[in-house]
Amino acid sequence: MNGNPEARSYLDTSVIILLVEGTAETRAAIRAGLKTLGADQGPFLVSALTRLECLVKPLRAGDVELERTCRMFFAGSEIREVEIGADVWESATQIRAKHGFRVPDALHLAAAACAQCSAILTRDQRWGGFPEVPVRIL
């Protein structure tokens, strides 16, 4: 993905789930956190892995409305999908070997790094030690 990396933040699944499924107060708090970080404007980067993780719950539960809401989120004009190609897989392998992250986490971190994101936005405290892209805990 080309463009200005200063304007690109990778959204972790944990943030999206709270934006889609959270209470009004939770959604407002996440939006406020994004604004505080200067990351309230898109585009936001995600991956197919992010979409997969977000859709499992509504599909498993047969929750058609939540599934529709999730799909609408990913179809939003401010969302861009990073391809998980061979370069991301290789980077994820290196990240997992060097830092010990679980495979899905290593893939998210690699996708953000390969896309030259300026930040990764997450609720996962374990990602705080990742040195290649600044991790912002919301």
pLDDT digits (tens, 9 = 90+) for 74-93: 999 889 999 999 999 999 99
What pLDDT does residue 78 have? Answer: 86
Length of the chain, please? 138
Average pLDDT on 10-34 reads 90
What kind of fold does domain 5-137 have according to CATH? Answer: Rossmann fold (3.40.50)
Determine how many CB atoms are found less than 10 A away from the CB of residue 110: 26
pTM value is 0.87
Contacting residues for 98 by C-beta, under 8 A, at least 6 apart: none
What is the helix, strand, coil percentage profile of the chain, to 5? 60, 15, 30
Q: Domain segments of the chain: what residues?
A: 5-137
Strands of 79-82's sheet, edge to edge?
79-82, 44-47, 9-11, 119-122, 135-137
Q: Can you give the pLDDT at residue 125? A: 87
- Identify the pLDDT of residue 2: 38
